[in-house]
Amino acid sequence: MNRKFQDNIVVTIVLSFFIVMASCAKNEDFIQENAVDTGVGYYPLSANTLIDMATNTNINNASYATGATFNTELQYVSQSPVKEINLYTTVGTGTRTKVATYPYAPAYSKTKGTDTLLVPYTVPTGLAVGTSIKLEYEILNQNALNIIRTATIKSK
């Protein structure tokens, strides 16, 4: 190979390396990176895995005995004021029902960088084994913008 060709290969490799490294750089401000001003304010943000706090396992697709209660931690942030957190359920093919409302109370965790709320849920009694229960955790802002986090559990 001639020297000029080798130099071009080296330059191409070095430039490619810097482009890849620059594309890997992350913005450390999750809120600024993900918040979108709608003109009437911002949507709340929430993305943590919904886990059973007692077992530290994902609740989605988990099975619980009827009558069992578990707590799920909801982590969220919002640039617009939060009004409340609502929990809705749909049992089997039934209708969506609001089962709890939690007025907003500041609960900022320095460790997690978000507000946190432990939301208890008790699986209804008298369900057939394998009944599907859809849980919807709604974070509702005062500007009526919301985010809904969903998980489905089954009775056992």
The per-residue DSSP string of 38-67 comes to -SS-B--B-----EETTTTEE-TT-EE-TT
Helix %, strand %, coil % of the chain (to 5): 15, 40, 40
Enter the tokens of residue 81. Answer: 């004021």
Topology of domain 31-155, CATH? Immunoglobulin-like (2.60.40)
| pTM across the whole model | 0.75
CB 73 within 8 A of CB 53: yes
**Domain positions in the chain:** 31-155
Dump pLDDT digits (tens) for 106-131: 888 888 889 999 999 999 999 999 99
CA atoms of 37 and 14, how far apart (whole Å): 39
| Gap between the Cα atoms of 100 and 129, Å rounded | 24
pLDDT tens for 1-49 read 566 655 556 556 655 555 555 555 454 544 444 445 556 678 888 888 9
- Which pLDDT does position 22 carry in this prediction? 52
- The CA dihedral of 138, 142, 146, 150, to the nearest 10 degrees, is -10
CB 97 within 8 A of CB 89: yes
Tell me phi and psi for residue 46, to 5 degrees.
-160, 130
